A and B are shown apart, each in its own frame.
Chain A
Amino acid sequence: MTLTEPEQQAVFDCRQDFAAELLALAEADERIVAVCNDSVGSSNLVGFRQRFPDRLINVGIAEQDLVGVAAGLANAGKIPFVCAAAPFLTGRALEQIKADVAYSEAHVVLCGQSPGMAYGELGPTHHSIEDLSWMRAVANLDIIIPADPVQTRAAVRWAAASQRPSYLRIPRFKVPVVTPGDAPFEPRRAVLLQDGGDATVIAIGSLTSRALEAAARLRGEGISVRVLNMPFLDPLDEDAIVAAARETGRIVTAEEATISGGLGAAVSAAVVTHHPVPMRILGIPRVFAPTGDTAFLLDHFGLSADGIVAAVKDLLRHG
């Protein structure tokens, strides 16, 4: 088994790693509290509630209150991990995230569970594809997109220690382990998963393993692709992006989010500012998804190894 054959690899629901790491941290640091919106089950907090019933705050189905309460808890020295489905956390409480958390510089860790199209057939109300655009528009907020269980655990530890506002996107759609054991996990630091010279694919979250699969296929056709992963969407590793533009001349970005303002928008801003090269931006165009499970929808929008292969070839052919 190799990293390049994800369909044969073990895959993981990262919410379990999130919950396990949070519980371990909470054992060591009594300031850590979990705040949720009737999402004990969906955020895998049953174990946390059993172990620390007084440190699990459930405000009910009330996301504005959820985030405001977390800011108040942080004011009094707690480290609140807000655990809620990503679409409702970011959409319903956007102004609280802006004013009470980011602008007030409250050490609140916003944990968007089941992001992207993880809720598949439940439809666009439950999809969180706008969250990256919304969160990127808010100043003073670190945005972390774990690609696998290893990065999920690292993200929890980093956010707890950072003393800064942050948004974590906790995957539910199962992904394989893609991060090498010695991979860096810090702001402004890309993870080089594979080097190459003909083009660079920059992928985050669920698209990371698909980018590796695409690179393996292209290698078989004699095309050498660099694969970069960006666990921190903000602050972004602009140096790695500019180096990729300079050294490979072509960039494809891939994310499970709308192309309006996520990874593709961030990378293109860096590229056009510092070293313009042709790009392709893979994501969800400005449409609401049709009915379908997550795997179907990812394929539907070309967010697959096939889609990435096609984008790289298109770049090579047409620039």
Chain B
Amino acid sequence: MLSADPVRAAAYRKTVERLRAADEDAVGAELDRLATDVRRNIVRTIDRAGMGHIGGDLSVTDILVSCFYGALSVDPERPQWTGRDRFVLSKGHCAAALYSTLAQCGFFATAELDTFMAPLSALNGHPNRLKVPGVETNTGALGHGLPVATGCALAAKIDGVSWRTFVVLGDGELQEGSNWEAAMAASHYGLSSLTAIVDRNRLQQGARTEETNALGALEDKWRSFGWEVREVDGHDHLALLRAMNGPRTGRPVAVIANTIKGKGVSFMEDRVEWHHKVPTPEQVDAALAELAR
């Protein structure tokens, strides 16, 4: 198990505290800056490993940053604190984005990112809770996160405690039926502490979602399963925070976050081939130059 970076963890706690008291413009600007830092680390991490899922990493980055800096109550130095909010990345193939975010928060040292997918590294191509603090369940096979998150939220309800559960789903992964089993159960049990955020980038590995097995009116699907639906621009941190932290009505909340796969690197944006293509050294330089703006 990796251990926390105490300096970064302390900085993280201070940043979260400051953001809680800051006005919206300041929050938006700070989260934009943090997301750029995470994106740069994603590009570097995948460049060093020579592997990864860069398109989805870049589409989910703003969701991750919004969660960790503006929604979750967690302490990188006490990853097993029982009162923590639970966070599950169901689209586990975007591990590089999660690792870059967790490292930025101080759950472990950023130097560890250099070991991504190297032999015996704690940082597997998909996250492992036994090796990486901040990971709640091992994901990678799709359609697993929402059932597990539903179980977490059920436990909190049984115990009458106030911590919350967040799960981030890919849109393509909603083709897995297990999600809809869990969506029914979460609604049936009235799990209002549960938030599912859909990274709606409209692309999956091989093609557009709507050309593969169309998700269609996704909002209507969640609504008909008994969820409250909040649709936002998935790259607008303030909109994400409002959707995640807004008042509850006794139902679980699905945030449909409309995103762009490859967001932030112009030549990767909305292009199916960047699902898991690895950039050349020249493309890495170009990507980092764009992300420096």
- Nearest 4 pairs between A and B by C-beta? A72-B151, A68-B147, A76-B155, A65-B181
Q: Which residue among A55, A72, A73 has the maximum number of chain B CB atoms within 10 Å of its CB?
A: A72
Q: Is there a chain A Cβ closer than 8 Å to B2's Cβ? A: no
Q: Would B149 and A72 count as touching, CB distance under 8 A?
A: yes
A78 partner, pick from B128, B155, B165, beta carbons under 8 A: B155
A105 to B139, CA, bound (A): 13
Interface stretch, picked from B13-21, B129-137, B246-254, is: B129-137
A74 to B151, CA, bound (A): 8
Q: Would A72 and B138 count as touching, CB distance under 8 A?
A: no
Q: Would B144 and A96 count as touching, CB distance under 8 A?
A: yes
Q: Is there a chain A Cβ closer than 8 Å to B115's Cβ? A: no
Known: A67-B147, A69-B148. A75 touches B181 (CB 8 A): no
Q: Is there a chain B Cβ closer than 8 Å to A295's Cβ? A: no
A68 partner, pick from B136, B150, B159, beta carbons under 8 A: B150
Residues of A within 8 A of B136 (CB): 75
Q: Is there a chain B Cβ closer than 8 Å to A47's Cβ? A: no
Instruction: Name A's interface SS.
Output: helix
Q: Is there a chain A Cβ closer than 8 Å to B185's Cβ? A: yes
A76 to B80, CA, bound (A): 10
User: Apart from A64-B181, A72-B151, A73-B154, what are 4 other A-B pairs with CB-CB below 8 Å?
Assistant: A65-B147, A72-B155, A73-B155, A74-B151
Known: A59-B185, A72-B149. A100 touches B144 (CB 8 A): yes
Q: Which residue among A70, A103, A106 has the maximum number of chain B CB atoms within 10 Å of its CB?
A: A103
Q: Is there a chain B Cβ closer than 8 Å to A315's Cβ? A: no
Residues of B within 8 A of A64 (CB): 143, 147, 177-178, 181
Q: Is there a chain A Cβ closer than 8 Å to B217's Cβ? A: no
Q: Would A99 and B140 count as touching, CB distance under 8 A?
A: yes
B148 partner, pick from A60, A71, A77, beta carbons under 8 A: A71
The closest CB in chain A to the CB of B183 belongs to A65
Q: Is there a chain B Cβ closer than 8 Å to A195's Cβ? A: no
The closest CB in chain B to the CB of A64 belongs to B178
Residues of B within 8 A of A96 (CB): 144, 147, 178
Known: A59-B185, A65-B182. A76 touches B152 (CB 8 A): yes
Q: Is there a chain A Cβ closer than 8 Å to B11's Cβ? A: no
- Kindly provide the distance from the CB of A51 to the nearest chain B CB, expressed in whole angstroms: 15
Q: Would A72 and B154 count as touching, CB distance under 8 A?
A: yes
- Kindly provide the distance from the CB of B170 to the nearest chain A CB, expressed in whole angstroms: 16
Please list 22 pairs of residues, one from A and one from B, whose beta carbons are closer than 8 Å in the complex, sorted by A's number.
A57-B189, A60-B185, A64-B177, A64-B178, A65-B181, A65-B182, A65-B184, A67-B147, A68-B182, A69-B147, A72-B147, A72-B149, A72-B150, A72-B152, A75-B148, A75-B155, A77-B82, A96-B147, A99-B139, A100-B148, A104-B129, A104-B138
Task: List residues of A whose CB falls within 8 A of some B CB.
Answer: 33, 54-55, 57, 59-60, 62, 64-65, 67-78, 80, 95-96, 99-100, 103-106
Q: Is there a chain A Cβ closer than 8 Å to B29's Cβ? A: no
- CB within 8 Å of A: which B32-91 residues: 82, 86
Q: Would A62 and B184 count as touching, CB distance under 8 A?
A: yes
A74 to B188, CA, bound (A): 20
Q: Would A103 and B138 count as touching, CB distance under 8 A?
A: yes
Residues of B within 8 A of A55 (CB): 158
The contact string, 1 if C-beta is below 8 Å from chain A, for chain B 173-206, is 0000110011011001100000000000000000
Residues of B within 8 A of A54 (CB): 158
- Kindly provide the distance from the CB of A40 to the nearest chain B CB, expressed in whole angstroms: 15
Residues of A within 8 A of B137 (CB): 71-72, 75, 100, 104, 106
Q: Would A76 and B86 count as touching, CB distance under 8 A?
A: yes
A100 to B145, CA, bound (A): 9
A37 to B184, CA, bound (A): 13
A54 to B190, CA, bound (A): 13
- CB within 8 Å of A: which B148-171 residues: 148-156, 158-159, 165
Q: Is there a chain A Cβ closer than 8 Å to B289's Cβ? A: no
Q: Is there a chain A Cβ closer than 8 Å to B141's Cβ? A: yes
Residues of B within 8 A of A60 (CB): 181, 184-185, 188
- Kindly provide the distance from the CB of B181 to the nearest chain A CB, expressed in whole angstroms: 4
- Kindly provide the distance from the CB of A268 to the nearest chain B CB, expressed in whole angstroms: 31
Q: Would A65 and B156 count as touching, CB distance under 8 A?
A: no
- Kindly provide the distance from the CB of A111 to the nearest chain B CB, expressed in whole angstroms: 16
A69 to B177, CA, bound (A): 15
Q: Would B150 and A69 count as touching, CB distance under 8 A?
A: yes
Residues of A within 8 A of B154 (CB): 57, 69, 72-73
The closest CB in chain A to the CB of B155 belongs to A76
A78 to B161, CA, bound (A): 14
A96 to B138, CA, bound (A): 10
Residues of B within 8 A of A106 (CB): 137
- Kindly provide the distance from the CB of A140 to the nearest chain B CB, expressed in whole angstroms: 10
A106 to B140, CA, bound (A): 16
The closest CB in chain A to the CB of B146 belongs to A68
